[in-house]
Structure 1
Amino acid sequence: SGGANAICIKTARSGFTEATEILGLCTGLGVDVTMGNQIDTQVGSLATVTFGAAFEATSRRAGELSNFLDMADDLLAEPLQIVNGRIPVRTVPGVGAAIDESKLARYRQDHVPSTSN
């Protein structure tokens, strides 16, 4: 109906399955698509970059994916870098999110310290 001329897909909210459905609807209706995040970690931003790079319609416009720069630390073993205004797509299977196990152990919330008797 002309109510929107662009939609921002946020994979952290929708996941890949629903994001694909949203993309299909937008493409069918002729609505432009951008990729964005919602204060995602580098892991979330990497997932969004990977999804966005997979489709022509989501890779033709700039996205809003730099919120991870506001965080003091992250779990990726190989942190994301913005090079010439772009986040390079990883060339490994999946989204390319290798987790730093020592950081994961440090930031765990479900870990219960053992007590000595």
Structure 2
Amino acid sequence: MPEFFHDSKLYYTPIEFALKHIGGTWKMPILWRLHLRVMRYGELKKDIPHITDKMLSSQLRELEEIGLITRIVYAAVPPKVEYQLTEKGSQAIPVIEIIMKYGVAMMQEAGIPYPPHS
């Protein structure tokens, strides 16, 4: 595959390019939750308990900048903000599902129960 540049970064494959947008620890879990329903910041924070406020804010900002989610601000006191998946973001969900199924199969093969016991 030919390499290419985008935003001054060298990519070797389209896979690497896609993972830059949805990869990492938090982006797929955020997208997964937003494909189920529109959520507020506090709901996301509660549903992803190990993410810090700084990380959640930055990941939401990045996902919004690349057009995978939309941030909706309502004129209210206190301010009400909701996040929802865009059409472009919805296209990532089947990919995330396949990665999840593959991960569960790998866990089962390694003898790791899923879902894990609390």
Q: What is the TM-score with the length of structure 2 in the denominator?
A: 0.26
Computing the radius of gyration from Cα coordinates, the structure with the larger value is: 1
* More strand per residue: 2
* More helix per residue: 2
